[in-house]
Amino acid sequence: DIVMTQSPDSLAVSLGERATINCKTSQSILYGSNNKKYLAWYQQKPGQSPRLLIYWASTRESGVPDRFSGSGSGTDFTLTISSLQAEDVAVYYCQQYYSTPYTFGQGTKLEIK
């Protein structure tokens, strides 16, 4: 199984500031033949189900604000929120879909400082 490790476990950022969440995979999730990175990011607000934010490591899902962006290489990925808003308080998860079983990171809890 591909192990997903997020850092930090929790993060407090001031409103309007940048938030950065990291995700490391135990093996490359870059498929050489199509140069795609099989990684997604999700946001889960309290009492809600997860919401897809980013897929293919850097493609924003429809309706997701452009302050959310994703980047990364074969094993190291980053979710960045450029200017934190109050509604961004949530737990964020990365997920690999390079191979089954699909696996998730342990989550990063983002709060307002």
- The answer to the question of residue 11 lying near another protein (CB under 8 A) is no
Residues 6+ apart with CB under 8 A from 17: 83, 84, 113
Among 16, 32, 63, 101, binds another protein (CB under 8 A): 101
- The answer to the question of residue 25 lying near another protein (CB under 8 A) is no
112 closest CA partner among 2, 4, 15, 5 = 15
- The answer to the question of residue 50 lying near another protein (CB under 8 A) is yes
- The answer to the question of residue 92 lying near another protein (CB under 8 A) is no
- The answer to the question of residue 100 lying near another protein (CB under 8 A) is yes
Q: How far is the CB of 59 from another protein (least distance, A)?
A: 9
Asked if 78 contacts 72 with a C-beta cutoff of 8 angstroms, the reply is yes
Among 20, 22, 51, 67, binds another protein (CB under 8 A): 51
Paired sense of beta strands 4-7 and 36-37, if any: unpaired
